[in-house]
Structures are given as structure tokens and as C-alpha cells.
Amino acid sequence: MTDLETQIAGNRAAIDEFIAAARAIDMTRWTASRGDGAWTAAQIAEHLAIVYEYNRTVAIGTAPSPIPRLVRPLVQRLARGLVVDGTLKAGRFTRKGRAPGMFQPSAAPPPCGEVLARLDAAVRGLESDLRSRHPAARLTIAHPIFGTLSTADWMQLQAIHARHHRAQLPS
């Protein structure tokens, strides 16, 4: 198994863990506030679905960069160093941050089954998108925020992100 296939499998395991934990939540708690402006379980699931839908556009090369072209190389190196490198080294998020606006869930996400089906479809689509790329192109991803990354590292980051949010779900 290649490093990329290993990371795709690791990401799939993290998503399967998230989905199983989300399905086990009592529906009265699905939309209940976790306090202090924290997202509900429904919003966490929708956030992940949004992120994986966006990741598909990254994988196929159609995600636009929000960073102006002139400063893009500098900002990408900085973002990669602050977010990606530290997270991969630690195996977890080391900084507390707020998701960018484009990844914010709605105030009233869809029902559990709908949002989890959306998440699963986005992850399956991403896996397919990555596997359908030319073999040489599978090695790296041109990320609009982080610059060029190893695809295996990028997938490992996705698994860390899914497990981060799995830990936020009520048990």
C-alpha cells in the first residue's frame, strides 16, 4: 500500500469514527448547544461536510485562492508553517482557531441522516478524485492557502481534523 493509500485509509477510519459517534448521539442533543457559542453536534457535522466538499475542489484544482497573487508565496509559507507543519508534527491541532467564514456551518443544519450522508458522499468523492488523478499528480496537492503539499500529508491533516471534531461530540 502506498503512503497516499495509507493516509486515505486513515482518513476514512477517522470519518467512520466520527459518523458512528454522531449517529449514536441522542437526537435531543444533536442540536443542543455545548455552551459558550460552541457549535452543536449538527453544526460540527455540517462543518466537516463543507470542508470535505471544498477539499474536492482542491483535489481537482478548481479551488480559488483567497490570497492576492503578489503575497501568495509568503502567506502560503507562513500558513503552512503555522497550521500544517505543527499539526502534523504533533498529530493534533496545537492552536485554537476559528474556522474561516467559508467553512462556518449554518445556524440550523439539516437533520442528522442528511448531513452525515452529505459528509460521507463528500469524503467518498474526495477519495475517488485523488485516486483518479494521474499517478505522478497524486504525489502533491496545490492548496490555495497552504501552497504545494504532499498529498499524503494533506490527507493526514484531514484525519487529524476529523478526529479533533470527533472529540467535540457529546458522548
C-alpha span between 101 and 120 (Å, rounded)? 22
**pLDDT of res. 166:** 98
Window from 10-19, 35-44, 123-132 with minimum mean pLDDT = 35-44
C-alpha span between 65 and 5 (Å, rounded)? 27
Q: Output the DSSP codes for 52-77.
A: HHHHHHHHTT-PPPSS-TTTHHHHHH
pLDDT of residue 1 exceeding 80: no
What nine digits make up the cell of 50? 463543507
- 94 close to 82: Cβ distance less than 8 angstroms: no
Residue 150, classed as helix, strand or coil, is strand
Domains of the chain: 3-25+35-166 (1.20.120.450)
**pLDDT of res. 124:** 98
- 151 close to 139: Cβ distance less than 8 angstroms: yes
